[in-house]
Structure 1
Amino acid sequence: MSASLKDASVALIGAGNMGLAMLEGWAAQGLSADRAAIVEPNPSDRLLALCAAHGFSLSAQPGLYDAVVLAIKPQMLEAGAEAAAPFVGPGSVVVSILAGKRIADIAARLPAVTSIVRAMPNTPAAIGRGMTGAFASEATSESQRALAHALLAAAGQVEWVESEALIDAVTALSGSGPAYVFYLVEALVAAGVEAGLAPELAGRLARATIEGAGELLHRQPDLSAETLRQRVTSPGGTTAAALSVLMAEDGLAPLMTKAVAAAKKRAGELSG
């Protein structure tokens, strides 16, 4: 699935942290300034600098755009839809990254559009290392889906799911997932302090360990996490001793399953 942004016209509604991260990726991939519309009533210095560097204008010109990306806060859907209306038509695809807002919610507020993609990125998208799960409405064409993919991929990896209901599972796993990793760092620091290390040293050790392990996963995509774990675990060694606790019946796996289930349940409540 591929599409070029060089010939696409794109309207961005909301250029806060996530919207701005996406815009930076689009600029790097050649989105033409004269085919871009940006609606952001409170532009940050970073956004102003990006506009100055690439020729983007904050004086959006209404018209029919190939894609309209909703990157506002979920509670601002009404105002965001009103701002998006001048840029959409029957040929547009709307890409929404509004957490908890369903395709039906978008369609009800933008009746001129039937091609809608609901996406759930996560915070590493801010540095181009995000993971986004996406689902497209039935009316979305292959070319529109490819364009949506290109827009989302500017902030990292994209995976498509087969039903909108699975977006709740995506939210629970990758959407909320960075917080789980950050909490793991906190727990490692606390454990290191309990083992006798100074807090500052424990913090540096834990942080660097998670950063390095994540980079190994990133640089060796053909190796599973299980394989990487086995490679660092010597029989009868220190790592094996720790894993005997983490991999016990009441260890990390069932706890993580409960955590993801709780997040999925809450995502469904917010969507419903």
Structure 2
Amino acid sequence: MPKFAANLTMMFNEVPFPQRFAAAAKAGFQAVEFLFPYDHAPHEVARWLDENGLTNALFNMPPGDWAKGERGLASLPGREAEFRAGVARALEYAQALGTKRLHAMAGLVPAGAERERHREVFIGNLRYAARELAAHGITLLIEPINPRDMPGYFLSSQAEAHAIREAVGEPNLQVQLDFYHAQIVEGDLAMGLRKHFAGVGHVQIAGVPERHEPDEGEVNYAYLFRLLDELGYEGWVGCEYRPRGRTEDGLGWMAALNART
């Protein structure tokens, strides 16, 4: 059975962020992920992890001005210096937290923009970031995000993400496979996983279409979990979903899986 990491940006919102680490550990999680740690000092986040015996599976590099609607910098022409500064900042946190995977958000493409230019910038920035991270044994990730949740996001399909991975050509660049986004955009999840498995560096889950717990909706996660085991996936599976109610009340799906092992 896969190993699950609680996404503390979406889960355990019943308590403030610093207290979510203890809540996740109490609920049986051994790892956590979150969108951004930058509102807190690296040593504070490291302490919350250590006190609760948790691994940090993943977080995102600085995305630009999130409050103003920016969703990443990696494909934005003219923002290369800011992106590189974000790589350095993310590395500072990753080293303090022991994080081995960082996600670079691509950003939104303005209406009428030249998409090929954005692709060129994306490839160049990813090549730079991958080489910086490789010196510290860290994997760089890119993630396709569905256009319903994030209209205008540069990267939406697994196929395109893997084509970019190949174009960048750095061995520590991999693709983040969120089954929720992939189902909305492409479907055919099992065959897509089999096809691209060698380039998958992190997996995330949520029910489709409401993005609640994975025990409801149109995706057969029990089947996909067995397939991940069959393919030999050894990484964490991030639970990036919005609980229907109290987080703890919706964890029956994980308890049921644990009972079978």
Higher percent of residues as helix = 1
| Fold equivalence (TM over 0.5) | no
Bigger relative contact order, structure 1 or 2, given CA contacts below 8 A and separation 6+? 2
Rg bigger for which structure? 1
